[in-house]
Amino acid sequence: KMSEVSEAMTKADIKPKSMHRAKIWSDDVENLYRFQQAGYRDEVEYKQVKQVDKVECWPETGFVKKLQRRDNTFYYYNRQRECEDKDVHKVKVYVY
């Protein structure tokens, strides 16, 4: 059984294998948009940097509710969709 420290170390080294841009909006694209607005690749990187186990989400929609940026200011998001169609192509989808 691995110690918690070495387990955390291997988790911290997760790097995406590839990246493509989103073409159509989905719940996943919405959440990626929110992470990327706050300065993170995705939920994986956010959890690594902020050392948190779970991200606060809206129970109704499952969308990310609040994120802490690297400079420790908070971003708060609405429960409705925020990523407009014109912004969908800006969202980077990472493959692990």
Work out the mean pLDDT of the chain and round it to a whole number.
89
User: What span, in angstroms and rounded, lies between the C-alpha atoms of 96 and 93?
Assistant: 10
pTM of the model: 0.85
Residue 15 lies in a domain: no
At residue 12, the pLDDT reads: 56
Residue 68 lies in a domain: yes
At residue 15, the pLDDT reads: 84
**Which has the closest alpha carbon to 56: 43, 45, 65?**
65
Strand partners, 68: 74
User: What span, in angstroms and rounded, lies between the C-alpha atoms of 96 and 92?
Assistant: 13
At residue 11, the pLDDT reads: 55
Residue 63 lies in a domain: yes
Q: Alpha helices of 1-53 — where are they, by DSSP H?
A: 4-12, 27-37, 43-50
Count up the domains in the chain and report the number: 1
User: Which tens digit of pLDDT belongs to each residue from 46-70?
Assistant: 999 999 999 999 999 999 999 999 9
Residue 16 lies in a domain: no
Which structural domain, as residue segments, surrounds residue 91? 27-95
Residue 85 lies in a domain: yes
Residue 11 lies in a domain: no
Residue 79 lies in a domain: yes
Residue 86 lies in a domain: yes
List of the chain residues with pLDDT < 50: 1-10
